[in-house]
Amino acid sequence: MAGSGGEVARFSVWDYVVFAGIVLLAAGIGLFQAIRGRKETSSAEFLLGGRQMTAVPVAMSLTASFMSGITVIGTPAEAYKFGTPFWLFAFSYAIMSTISAEIFVPLFYRLGITSTYEYLEMRFNKLIRVIGTTMYIVQTALYTGMVIYAPALALNQITGLDLWGVLVATGAVCIIYCTLGGLKAVIWTDVFQMVIMLSGFVAVITRGAILQGGLGKIWNDSYNGERLNTFDFDTDPLRRHTFWTIVFGGSLMWVSMYAINQSQVQRYISCRTMTHAKMSLYVNMVGLWVTVSLAMLSGLTMYSIYKNCDPFINNDVGSSDQLLPYLVMDILAEFPGVPGLFVAAAYSGTLSTVSSSINALVAVTVEDFVKPLWPTMTEKQASWLNMGMSVFFGAVCIAMAAVASLMGSVLQAALSIFGMISGPLLGLFLMGMFFRCANSTGGLSGLIIGLILTLWVGIGAQVYPPLPTKTRPLPLSVAGCVSDINITTTAAAWTSPALVTSQPSTERPALADSWYSVSYLYFCPIGTLTTMITGLIISAITGGCKQEKIRPELLISKRDLICFGCSRNDDENPKSELTEKVGGDHLYGLDNPYFIDKEYKLKEKEIDKISKF
């Protein structure tokens, strides 16, 4: 019986059929796009979809890329254990979308770049570009390994699916359609996977509401269980989730994910016009709101059902990441195929993130490392290289899954990785975009100092996790469980801040309860601000930009900040001979320098005129 603890059903034949069918259908969509575009073999077509994408599919792909299996499993567990402060990320998503669309899109779009880190060479030097690309590759490989491993482990322990069999199958499916179809295959597969992920949440919420007597009962249970105390204005930086850590720290962290992360930038610069690129980020914002809301409601539904019999304390699950799969098998097993739908939802998130990562890793490797060393590479050679690199990075991501087993709670660990590595990179980009006086020496020094600082606090937090007095898990009960159990300190470790007094202070260094206990959401601001401040100081000491000529298009202008709708869209552009040639059946905007510069090689004066527009 739901909510009373004990063993739950395992996968049925129909669950396997539904799960396999959805995963194969997702792969089929990717392969269809590969076959459909088989005549287009250029590197631009493979990595950027020919820069012909429109806002809505790109927006859904943006959402699916970071709403991974970690989100499907980890976010409801967050609401179950800590309540709804995580919902405040809705503010962070809005801030992130505005900053990315109105500051970063105009810059990257007018430069017509493929790799985000091309900008670093344009603004600073080749060495900084190589370091930035290397940092991105390490971060993405770690994150992707976690995305593959964590959901697979949780689902394996609850449903009985073979762990490494599913891991290898996941990687193989992604490798196939990424290798054959490129970015178009990734984006259109993400659209389908996004629908499946949301369907999984809806199934859990609907069935839970029926069992509990309506959403009102779930809401009342959550209120009585202190799960709805969303707004906490405590300014203590050691508190894990408060209004300030989420809105300030979380906004910067998400900006680092969307504004400079190759996986995301590669999507919106694939749009046919800047208007489509900006709109994709705003539609993505709505998608993130919907996804986090459904995830939070799933967690509250889980709390309403298990408020009197916590599966963790009752030893029914081994970690918080197994809670939602346990709930699914508990309340949906009587409906053949529905648990399979949920598992497919979790794996759809995994597939979307892994495929996005593979495609982005190929892009930065080819653009930042291979092309400078092989300038005479033909389009056919580039096509084979892209496919070969897709296979290679797919294998790397599978191999990195083993490292992910050491990272602890999947949701927090995943976000911590971005804070530690993307924070300093974001500071470097902002310094180059806004400060003409920033030079290469300052940029490199600031990046290294910022990275050292964030790695110090981030690794320290993994070794010495913050105590419950700062993370503040909410209380749970086992009073309603069917069987009697002996509640030990394991239960206290889950729920009780009082356990802190029983731990000898000698086991933790002095920094453990101060510096290492800083909220993981502040890792990114620490890295960003440190990089900018130290970089600007060192730039000033070393002469600023006196010896360096800075191209004006590499800096953010007033027009970029105040012109929210000044990019031409398809309807605003007159149908000219150029747009007919570039677009064929479509009418591409004149604000896309890629088609003008790369395809038609207009005179430099005309290119400058269009860029200034």
* 13-479+507-567 CATH fold: Sodium/glucose cotransporter (1.20.1730)
Question: In this predicted structure, what is the pLDDT of residue 591?
Answer: 52
Question: In this predicted structure, what is the pLDDT of residue 66?
Answer: 64
Q: Which residue from 338, 352, 378, 292 is spatially nearest to 57, judged by alpha carbons?
A: 352
CA dist., res. 594 & res. 110, Å (int): 8
Question: In this predicted structure, what is the pLDDT of residue 525?
Answer: 94
Residue 500 has pLDDT above 70, yes or no: no
What are the angstrom distances between the C-alpha of 125 and each of 121, 361, 439, 536?
Answer: 4, 21, 9, 16
Residue 296 has pLDDT above 90, yes or no: yes
Residue 485 has pLDDT above 60, yes or no: no
Question: In this predicted structure, what is the pLDDT of residue 398?
Answer: 76
Question: In this predicted structure, what is the pLDDT of residue 24?
Answer: 80
pLDDT band at 609 (very low <50, low <70, confident <90, very high): very low
Average pLDDT over residues 468-492: 67
Residue identified by tokens 């820069």 is 51
Residue 497 has pLDDT above 50, yes or no: no
Residue 522 has pLDDT above 90, yes or no: yes
Residue 353 has pLDDT above 90, yes or no: no
Q: What is the residue-averaged pLDDT of the chain?
A: 77
What are the angstrom distances between the C-alpha of 44 and each of 58, 361, 367?
Answer: 16, 15, 11
Question: In this predicted structure, what is the pLDDT of residue 574?
Answer: 38
pLDDT band at 603 (very low <50, low <70, confident <90, very high): very low
Q: What is the DSSP string of 217-258?
A: HHHHHHHHTTTT--------TTSSS-HHIIIIIHHHHHHHHH
Question: In this predicted structure, what is the pLDDT of residue 493?
Answer: 40
Please count the CA atoms within 13 angstroms of the CA of 569 that sit on its side-chain side.
Answer: 11
Residue 394 has pLDDT above 90, yes or no: no
pLDDT band at 483 (very low <50, low <70, confident <90, very high): low
List of residues 6+ apart from 81 with CB closer than 8 A: 320, 473, 474, 494
Residue 511 has pLDDT above 60, yes or no: yes
Quick one: angle between helices 274-306 and 163-212, nearest 10?
70
Of 101-110, 153-162, 497-506, the poorest mean pLDDT is in 497-506
Higher per-residue pLDDT: 119 or 408: 119
**pLDDT tens digits, residue range 564-579?**
444 444 443 433 333 3
Average pLDDT over residues 314-329: 84
Residue 295 has pLDDT above 70, yes or no: yes
**pLDDT tens digits, residue range 126-145?**
999 999 999 888 888 877 77
Higher per-residue pLDDT: 462 or 500: 462
What are the angstrom distances between the C-alpha of 336 and each of 73, 333, 582?
Answer: 21, 6, 51
pLDDT band at 531 (very low <50, low <70, confident <90, very high): very high
Higher per-residue pLDDT: 93 or 157: 93
Question: In this predicted structure, what is the pLDDT of residue 407?
Answer: 54
Average pLDDT over residues 335-340: 84
Question: In this predicted structure, what is the pLDDT of residue 285?
Answer: 92
Domains in the chain: boundaries: 13-479+507-567
**pLDDT tens digits, residue range 427-451?**
999 999 999 889 999 999 999 999 9
| C-beta pairs of 406-413 under 8 Å, 24+ apart in sequence | 407/146, 407/462, 408/462, 408/465, 409/74, 409/319, 409/320, 409/321, 410/70, 410/73, 410/74, 410/146, 410/150, 410/151, 410/321, 411/70, 411/71, 411/74, 411/75, 411/77, 411/78, 412/520, 413/146, 413/462
pLDDT band at 488 (very low <50, low <70, confident <90, very high): very low
Question: In this predicted structure, what is the pLDDT of residue 43?
Answer: 54
Helix or strand or coil: residue 389? helix
Q: Which residue from 335, 359, 375, 299 is spatially nearest to 33, judged by alpha carbons?
A: 359
Q: Which two tokens stand for residue 46?
A: 């493979």
Question: In this predicted structure, what is the pLDDT of residue 597?
Answer: 46
240 neighbors 519 (Cβ within 8 angstroms) = yes
Question: In this predicted structure, what is the pLDDT of residue 120?
Answer: 92
Question: In this predicted structure, what is the pLDDT of residue 584?
Answer: 35
pLDDT band at 14 (very low <50, low <70, confident <90, very high): confident
Question: In this predicted structure, what is the pLDDT of residue 36?
Answer: 67
Percent of the chain with pLDDT over 90: 24
Higher per-residue pLDDT: 394 or 284: 284
Average pLDDT over residues 401-410: 60
Question: In this predicted structure, what is the pLDDT of residue 178?
Answer: 67
**pLDDT tens digits, residue range 188-235?**
777 777 888 888 889 899 999 999 999 999 999 999 999 998 998 989
Average pLDDT over residues 21-29: 78
pTM of the entire structure? Answer: 0.81
Average pLDDT over residues 408-412: 56
Average pLDDT over residues 340-350: 76
Question: In this predicted structure, what is the pLDDT of residue 547?
Answer: 57
